[in-house]
Chains A and B, each alone.
Chain A
Amino acid sequence: MPDPVLYLKSMGVAAIVSAIVVLAMAMLRRTVSSTRLTSACVLAMGLGLALGCNVLEMRWTWPPVKGLDRLLMIVIPMALGIELIAGLEKLPQWVAWFLRLSLAAVAPRILLHGSVFLTGSGSDWTLWDGGVAVLICGALLAFTWGLLGWLSRRSGGISIPFALSLTTQCAGLTVMLAGYLKGGATAFPLAATIISTAIATKLVTMRSGTSEKLGLAAIIGVGVIGLFGVLMIGRFFGRLSTGSAVVLMLAPVLCWATELSFLRRRKPWMVGSLRLGLVAIPLVVVLAVAKRDFDRDMAPLLGEIPTRDGVVDTLIRRNL
């Protein structure tokens, strides 16, 4: 059964740990370099997510045999490693993006490893279908990651990780409403660590007077991979619909709307609000659809919400 208190605890732990790590690493020296801040962000997100998941009583068993285990123990650590390398000041940008796109290409394959989608043992999936799904998912991940990375370099803004965090929380809720509790719950500490690391990084850059874009790429990178992973396991192993998964994956890209010439020169708070507002629209729609489907399919199983038939039976018994 879903345990909201446990989810709040995991979010709290993830947020506090991430913020403390960023602030502590920034305080060790007066000047904050890009490499140092990126390393702090990577460490903060990794530690925050690990401890948050620990609160959720995730099993850490090797080798990881389930999609969720592979997300937490292979794909996200790979993203953390790549962002750590990408944060090196002397590293050419094309190398950083080559590494990111390589991860985008292999992540779907890793997440589906050993499943009926790749072994062809399922009745409705052939190996060809599985291969096509891996390619499309990789392309979708690369598209979102590329656009958000470009936007963060172009105009920056804390609203991008905020939008990503909002989408990740919504993805978690939608996956849970579709019936996959554990997969959805993973999104909560992830969303908390994204937002907390972003706020802590913003405070550090404000204090040191450096560019607010520092560390943003790492937060976005790990965040996008996490969001993609939750949606992919929700879609392929759970019952999340393809439409909902695609909309949720593309929702943060709506932040690009503020790059339109008549919106771009607005005040930062207005641009940020606009971004969040635009991203929130598809999220609300997806959540509403997920709630409707949950009430129709899952709620009767819990026995908490009366079904239409149940209500009719009660009325008949009461001679109404």
Chain B
Amino acid sequence: MVVNLLATQRQSFAIPMKRNHQMRRLVSAWALVLGLGTAVCGNAAYSADEYAYDGVHSSVSFKARHLDISWIHGRFNEVEGKFSLDREDPTKSTFALTIKADSVDTANKARDEHLRQPDYFDTKQFPTIEFKSKSVKVIKDGFEVTGDFTMHGTTKKVTLKLMGGKEHEFKNGVKRVAFSTELSLKRSDFGFDKNAIGPIGDEALIIIDCEGMRK
């Protein structure tokens, strides 16, 4: 009798203990799921999309006055860049562009060679032209990006109005976004030789049409 009673008591204790153990497992599993979910969702909410400059569908071109009667057009064939686009908080977006000055192309070999010389781009001393954003502001149909523009060894703060920002997503998940901007600057502000400015106007207009790609 006593033995039976003891056995019954053991059983009645054993059932709640087993249930407690299962409950703990369940809670732990839920906690893990919730934790991971929060982490993943949280990241998605605050992370920005990283885009690489797509040289195939982008261009950095320029034009400058010749003798103050016409325009000379040219482009840079080798450009690299990346930008991160934060749709939730666009002020956290960043833009960077590096242009190889040596890749200047005005459809005239002799003129390109001349433009690479120290009186103009001085490409052996200053091989790149760079832009790095410092702050981003949302404007109608785009962003107003202020950053450091370095050319010919001189860095100046410039503000670009990046228009666009429309996205296109392919079925394989590749996402594309595009911006366009124009920047007017004076070559003399960037230390270009005053005497070499002569027939080519001091002011130059840089036109950037940039498509970014996220894989």
Interface residues of A (CB under 8 A from B): 1-3, 6, 57, 59, 65-68, 114-117, 121-123, 179-183, 233, 236-239, 297-298, 300-303
Q: List 8 A-B contacts (CB under 8 A).
A: A1-B196, A57-B194, A65-B153, A66-B118, A116-B123, A239-B117, A298-B110, A300-B110
Q: How far is the CA of A65 from the CA of B123 in the complex (A)?
A: 13
Given A65-B125, A181-B119, A238-B118, answer yes or no on A1-B195 (Cβ-Cβ < 8 Å): yes
A178 nearest CB neighbor, chain B only: B117
Given A115-B124, A117-B124, answer yes or no on A238-B153 (Cβ-Cβ < 8 Å): no
With a CB–CB cut-off of 8 A, which chain B residues contact A122? 102, 124, 127
Interface residues of B (CB under 8 A from A): 102, 108, 110-111, 113-114, 117-119, 122-125, 127, 153, 191, 193-196, 198-199
With a CB–CB cut-off of 8 A, which chain A residues contact B117? 179-180, 237-239
The reply to whether B193 and A181 contact each other, CB–CB distance below 8 Å, is: yes
Q: Shortest Cβ distance from A236 into chain B, in angstroms?
A: 6
With a CB–CB cut-off of 8 A, which chain A residues contact B113? 179, 239, 297
With a CB–CB cut-off of 8 A, which chain B residues contact A239? 113, 117
With a CB–CB cut-off of 8 A, which chain A residues contact B110? 297-298, 300-301
Q: How far is the CA of A237 from the CA of B171 in the complex (A)?
A: 49
With a CB–CB cut-off of 8 A, which chain B residues contact A238? 117-118
With a CB–CB cut-off of 8 A, which chain A residues contact B191? 59
Q: How far is the CA of A68 from the CA of B114 in the complex (A)?
A: 17
The reply to whether A68 and B118 contact each other, CB–CB distance below 8 Å, is: yes
With a CB–CB cut-off of 8 A, which chain B residues contact A117? 124
The reply to whether B119 and A182 contact each other, CB–CB distance below 8 Å, is: yes
The reply to whether A298 and B125 contact each other, CB–CB distance below 8 Å, is: no
With a CB–CB cut-off of 8 A, which chain A residues contact B196? 1, 181-182
B154 nearest CB neighbor, chain A only: A65
The reply to whether B199 and A1 contact each other, CB–CB distance below 8 Å, is: yes
With a CB–CB cut-off of 8 A, which chain A residues contact B198? 1
With a CB–CB cut-off of 8 A, which chain B residues contact A66? 118, 122, 125, 153
Q: Shortest Cβ distance from B80 into chain A, in angstroms?
A: 13
The reply to whether B195 and A67 contact each other, CB–CB distance below 8 Å, is: no
Q: How far is the CA of A1 from the CA of B194 in the complex (A)?
A: 9
Q: How far is the CA of A179 from the CA of B118 in the complex (A)?
A: 9
**A183 contact from B111, B118, B194, Cβ within 8 A:** B118
B113 nearest CB neighbor, chain A only: A239
Given A57-B195, A297-B113, answer yes or no on A116-B118 (Cβ-Cβ < 8 Å): no
The reply to whether A121 and B199 contact each other, CB–CB distance below 8 Å, is: no
**Residue from B102, B122, B198, B199 having most chain A Cβ neighbours under 10 A:** B122
B78 nearest CB neighbor, chain A only: A123
**Residue from A3, A114, A180, A302 having most chain B Cβ neighbours under 10 A:** A180
Given A57-B195, A65-B153, A239-B113, answer yes or no on A116-B124 (Cβ-Cβ < 8 Å): yes
